[in-house]
Every structure is written in C-alpha cells, then in structure tokens.
Chain A
C-alpha cells in the first residue's frame, strides 16, 4: 500500500465505521405517527393583527393561537430528509477534503463547504440566528484569516501526513480506536425512535419570540448568559492584542527589523 492512499483509506474507513454504527443505532423507520397535541404555529398571515402592529405583539397572539391543537395531517419530512442528507454529505465531504488534500487552498475550500453545510444544518435545527452567525464568522472571517496566512506562508507541503516514528503512529492509532469506541458506545445509546415531536416545529419561547430567532437568542443571551457574553468580549480583546503582539516582526533594540530565517538566534546573541 503506497503511503499516499493511506490517509484516504483511513478517513473512508473511519467514516464507514461511524456511519455504520450510527445506522445500526436506528430502528427501522417508525411510521411518523401524528401527534395530536402537536403545537403547530399558524402562518403569519393568519394572525388577526394588522401589518403596523409591532412584531412582538403579532408573535404573542400567534403563540396564543398556536395552542389550538393542529388537526389531521402530520408534518411531512421528505423535504427535510433530502435537505439533511444533502447537507450532511456536503459537511462530511468537505471535512474529508480538509484532512486529505495536500494543497492548503483546496483544504480551505473544503472547509468552506463544511461550514456552509453546517449552517444549513443549523437551519434544519431551527437555529436561524446561529446559522447566519456561522456563515458570517466562519465562512467570512475565519476563512479569510486562513487564506491570508496561507498566502503569506506560500509554501507547499511536502508530506501529506505524519509518518515519523512507529511509536507515534501506534499512539495515534490507539487514540483513534479509543475515540471510535467511545463514539460508538455513545451513539448506540442514542434514542432510536424518531417521534413526531422531533419532527414538529418548536414552540415559541416564553417571551413569545420564534424559537431560535435573533430576538429569542438575544433575550436568552442578555438575561441568563450575560456574564459569559461579557467574558467573551474581554477574551476577544485579549486575543486581538495577543495576536498583534505575537505576529509583529522581530525588532532589536534599535528598532531595526531583524532578517528572518536565522531561527531568532541573531537577537539572542546581540
């Protein structure tokens, strides 16, 4: 076996194993039984409120109206299923791209695909605000940062994966085996039945906002999790200052930029 195909085979085998365990964890499709008590919000146009009423009032009234049990037709999930499998394929394919490509720019493009698929999956989980944040922060900011650094370094990788040392490889293999074992044991205990409650749309929050909307997440963030929010702002400040301090060019005492490539030893000897 040539060393070049090894990482591909390993990633493929890993995916197959974990997917197989996951597939085995699920019972044959439980027929989507309609839940009689399922809360199904009415469409926005069904609210009696006029257009000029504030958004919160509309949602509150819809919340009250949504308590009426929806009758008849269960929520069909074919479109959801197709979307899920499509974006799951994009996500997994992109991540395999990341860890197998030799070219760094190609790896970054695979990562963009992964983040895009994840944002779509957040949408499927009714996390609309987080989906937008995912696209903004990851596909927008972090990707640009990665591409910047790759362009700065501009050096092709000569070895696609770690080969040195039999002991290192053994440790890595053991760690992966342990990880797969733990993941499999967790996945086997996942609830196997897809109930209708899992397919139904979530109810609005207690404040009357749509679940997962910006207003709902903001309400939660600025009430319950205000301290972590402020702590994160301090963390970002520290990270910005630290990044600038670390990445600044080396200078000696006279303020002259040291030539690169001497391993930093020129500064130590002076």
Chain B
C-alpha cells in the first residue's frame, strides 16, 4: 500500500482535498478564503478526472480538465470582481454580514 501507488491513492487524495475544501467553505467567513476553498474543490475534481483519464486510457479527460481550469479562471475573475465591488461599497468582505437581501 505504501510503496505501490495505484489509481486508488490518487482518488483518495482527491477526496481528502475535496473534503478540506468543503470544510473551508463551511467553516470560514471571509469571502476570499471561501473562494480559495472552492478552488481547492475544483482542483480535487480535476485530479479525479485526470486519474480516470489515465485509468481508462482516454485523453478526453485531459481536455475536460483543461475546460475546468478555464472555467475556474473565469469564476475567479468574476468572483474577485464582485468581492472588490462589495468591499468598495460596504468596507468589509464578511459573508455573514452580507444579508441586505434578507430584509
């Protein structure tokens, strides 16, 4: 188990990474940390996709992972723009205080 690295190891690692990312989204309040955790989860999904691509010998997984990376880049660009806009008007970036739509 320690010295023979199979596909299962990569899948377990991706699962751990995804769980840590999910914990970050649930535990933290800062918007930037939450976005970083979302990036972690996207990367875990990417690792799984690439492992499956290797498992099945299908390069389509690599193309798909590239699309995921591009979507992640777009998401970060728009998300950080929203964070900057929020911070410019409200002077903080705390998700718990961003409840103006509630009232």
Contact residue among B12, B64, B65, B80 (Cβ-Cβ distance under 8 Å from A187): B12
A contact residues around B18 at 8 Å (CB):
183
* Contact status of A127 and B62, CB under 8 A, knowing A25-B12, A142-B73: yes
A65 at the interface (CB under 8 A from B): no
Chain B residues in 8 Å Cβ range of A190: 7-8, 11-12
Interface string of A139-153 (1 = CB under 8 A from B): 001100110111011
> Interface size of B by Cβ–Cβ distance < 8 Å?
76
A-contact bits for B68-89, CB 8 A (1 contact / 0 none): 0111111111101111110111
A22-B15, A146-B80, A229-B67 are contacts. A99–B73 as well, Cβ < 8 Å?
no
Number of cross-chain contacts by CB at 8 Å = 291
By secondary structure, the A interface counts as: helix
Residue of A nearest to B80 (CB): A149
Interfacial chain A residues near B5, Cβ < 8 Å: 77, 80-81, 84, 124, 194, 199
Bound-state CA distance A232–B90 (Å) is 33
User: Chain A contact residues (Cβ within 8 angstroms of B): what range?
Assistant: 35 or more
A residues less than 8 Å from B13 (CB atoms): 88, 91-92, 121
Task: Determine the distance from Cα of A28 to Cα of B93 in the docked complex, in whole angstroms.
Answer: 48
How far apart sit A98 and B30, CA to CA, in the bound complex (Å)? 12
* Interchain CB contact under 8 A, A176 and B26: yes
Distance between Cα atoms of A186 and B62 in the complex (Å)? 23
- Nearest-neighbor residue (CB-CB) of B33 within chain A: A107
Q: Which has the most chain B C-beta neighbours within 10 Å: A80, A121, A238?
A: A121
Report whether B53 and A179 are in contact in the complex, using a CB–CB cutoff of 8 Å: no
10 cross-chain pairs, A with B, having the tightest CB-CB distances, nearest first: A22-B12, A99-B24, A194-B6, A239-B74, A247-B81, A243-B81, A194-B4, A172-B26, A220-B59, A246-B81
What are 10 pairs between A and B in contact, CB < 8 Å?
A22-B16, A81-B4, A95-B20, A127-B62, A145-B77, A157-B29, A176-B23, A187-B8, A217-B59, A249-B88
Q: Taking beta carbons and an 8 Å cutoff, which residues of B are in contact with A?
A: 1-13, 15-24, 26-30, 32-33, 35-37, 39-40, 43, 46-47, 50-51, 53-54, 57, 59-60, 62-67, 69-78, 80-85, 87-94, 96
The chain A residues found within 8 Å of chain B, CB to CB, are 7, 10-11, 14-15, 18-19, 22-23, 25-30, 32, 77-78, 80-81, 84-85, 88, 91-92, 95-96, 98-99, 104, 107-108, 111, 114-115, 118, 121-122, 124-127, 129-130, 133-134, 137-138, 141-142, 145-146, 148-150, 152-153, 155, 157, 159-162, 164, 172, 175-176, 179-180, 183, 186-187, 190-195, 198-199, 202-203, 205, 211-212, 216-217, 219-221, 224-225, 228-229, 232, 235-236, 238-240, 242-244, 246-247, 249-250, 260-264
